[in-house]
Structure 1
Amino acid sequence: MKIEKPRVAIQGIRASFHEEAGLRYFGENAQMIECNSFKQTFEKLKNREADYVVMAIENSIAGSILPNYTLLLDYGFPVVGEIYLPIQLHLMALPGVKFEDVKYVTSHPIALRQCVDFFDEYPHLKIIESSDTAACAKRIRDEQLTDTVAIANSLAATLYGLDVLERRIESNKRNFTRFLILTHHDNMDKKPANKASLCFQVSNKVGALAKVLNIFAEEGLNMSKIQSMPILGKRNEYNFYVDVEWDEQKHYDNAIRQILKYTQNFNILGEYERHDDEPSVAPKPQRIDRGRRYINIRRNV
């Protein structure tokens, strides 16, 4: 089902990296719904106040965003797509501000960590952490701060009328964040997929996980991601979150049938089309009418 002007819930405010990811995936017609937390984005979807959620799940420097894996399982909304966004960070200030007059630099903690090489050259700058990169840019504009610079994306500089003093100050020029696209169950398309996000448990026995991973290998599936998280209140028990990719649907279907024998509480969190654009290159906007199918399987052994 195609929605001409989808309502997309994002964590953060306008010009955040979540909005940038949402615009690249859905196009300029998307209506962004600002939320204070990732949980609030899921609540918007649950209450039908949004059609989709765009949620960061991992960053090539900072790693996995673990609390978001819990949200995937708790709410059960299907993953219907993904997008990899190159993280390009710029130093910005009010028009007319000179860099030599700047005393403070503000941004999200992860963005600040990604610019350590730049800060090493200017040790006099005092760092102020904030919850959102775009909010830092907005604060400079709203409060007319002439002694402070923000680190954010070019979208924030444009939206809040700031000048970019220095471009691409991130230490790693190939850093990217992977975002998942989620929706509610009756907003699903029925078209082919070539990637899936799975969650399951295995028994606490020697070789239990290896049996599952061997099945993926034998069927020719590429396991692009594995993440374990302890199950609250259960010693030595874990949820395993796995992403797999395939070229032929039958191999994926065969693998799923086999691993059900060796897993408990098996869930297919989503089946969707993988994002194949090179992460270091800005991806083209994607249409929202891509094919997905969703299966929810629970098995207690």
Structure 2
Amino acid sequence: MAKRPTIAIQGIKASFHEEAALTYFGEEIETLECMTFKRMFEEMKQERADYIVMAIENSIAGSLLPNYSLLQDYNFPIIGEIFLPVQLHLLALPGLRFEDIKYVQSHPIAIRQCEEFLQDLQGITVLEKSDTAACAKEIQDLQLKDTVAIANLNAAKAFGLEVLERRIESNKKNYTRFLVIAREHEDIKDANKASVCFRVNNKPGSLAKVLTIFAQNNINLSKIQSMPVLGKPNEYNFYLDLEWTEQKAYDLSLRKILKYTHNLSVMGEYKSNDTRK
């Protein structure tokens, strides 16, 4: 029997990261729980994980900027993506009443996604924790009768909690995009999307020239993100997601932008999997 792949996830079982991993790989996997994003990369570096599934952006909260740095620091290849609809619920021990609630706890990103709902709760303290599912588990483990968690239905089922309020996220079309990262390079058949990173000269029009080359070759930019380079004033890393219909046009674009960029790296070539469309 073939060995199940081990997938490093941020958080614990029943978290959104585990849900994303199951969506991409199916049920026949082992998940490796990591409390930080960096820990996932360290586990794969030590060959205790075969893949990483990592959130990179959310339609409400925006990009997870530190995760771009991790991609650069560890240089493991991106081989896929998942767009996971985020449905958030208010979970509590069975029988808890609204008037008993003193604390709401969840991951900071989940809290941001539910700001409108939380603004209507009077006299309740919001606690930021490391993981949505772990917040739900803590309520069950410690039998917290004054605390509720913001998490998904998997967490409610896993830890025997009751749903006090359903779908409390501000935007009902809320998605988180996850990247699938491998320990070793894999050839992806019919790849039509890439994540690249580069720097440009600090001169007027340098970035515009690069973007013009992509436009002239019908390369769609579905994402552009800049981050300052530490210790180098006025220098930025630009992270781009590129999509194409003709492989030759993509290859030509990369060759042409070499004239205007430096430190160009292709972080991964994979299939576009935007299920929001």
Give the alignment's TM-score, normalised by structure 2: 0.96
Counterpart Cα distance in 1 of 2:245 and 2:43: 35
The answer on whether the counterparts of 1:199 and 1:268 sit within 8 Å (CA) in structure 2 is yes
Give SS of 1:88's match: coil
Q: What pairs up with 1:76-155 in 2 under 5 angstroms?
A: 76-155=75-154
Q: Give the residue type in structure 1 aligned to 2:248.
A: K
Counterpart Cα distance in 2 of 1:249 and 1:4: 34
What's the % identity of the aligned pairs?
63
Give the number of equivalent residue pairs: 276
The answer on whether the counterparts of 2:188 and 2:270 sit within 8 Å (CA) in structure 1 is no
Counterpart Cα distance in 1 of 2:80 and 2:204: 35
**Residue 233 of structure 1 pairs with residue 211 of structure 2:** no
Give SS of 1:261's match: coil
- CA-based RMSD of the aligned residues comes to 1.4
Question: Could you report, residue by residue, the CA deviation over 1:146-184 in whole angstroms, capped at 9, with x for unpaired residues?
Answer: 221111011110111111111101111111111111012
Deviates more, 1:78-87 or 1:120-129: 120-129
Counterpart Cα distance in 2 of 1:202 and 1:167: 47
**Residue 261 of structure 1 pairs with residue 235 of structure 2:** no
Question: Could you report, residue by residue, the CA deviation over 1:180-209 in whole angstroms, capped at 9, with x for unpaired residues?
Answer: 1101225x1342200000001111111111
Q: What pairs up with 1:1-301 in 2 under 5 angstroms?
A: 5-186=4-185, 188-278=186-276
Counterpart Cα distance in 1 of 2:184 and 2:30: 20
Give SS of 2:259's match: helix
Counterpart Cα distance in 1 of 2:61 and 2:241: 19
The answer on whether the counterparts of 1:4 and 1:29 sit within 8 Å (CA) in structure 2 is no
Counterpart Cα distance in 1 of 2:205 and 2:187: 37
Per the TM alignment, residue 39 of structure 1 is displaced from its structure 2 partner at its CA by 1.0
Give the alignment's TM-score, normalised by structure 1: 0.88
Counterpart Cα distance in 2 of 1:112 and 1:252: 39
Unaligned runs of 5+ in 2: none
The answer on whether the counterparts of 2:79 and 2:188 sit within 8 Å (CA) in structure 1 is no
Counterpart Cα distance in 2 of 1:129 and 1:72: 25
Counterpart Cα distance in 2 of 1:248 and 1:257: 15
Question: Could you report, residue by residue, the CA deviation over 1:41-68 in whole angstroms, capped at 9, with x for unpaired residues?
Answer: 0111111100100111111111111111
* Moved segments of 4+, more than 6 Å: none
Counterpart Cα distance in 2 of 1:11 and 1:100: 33
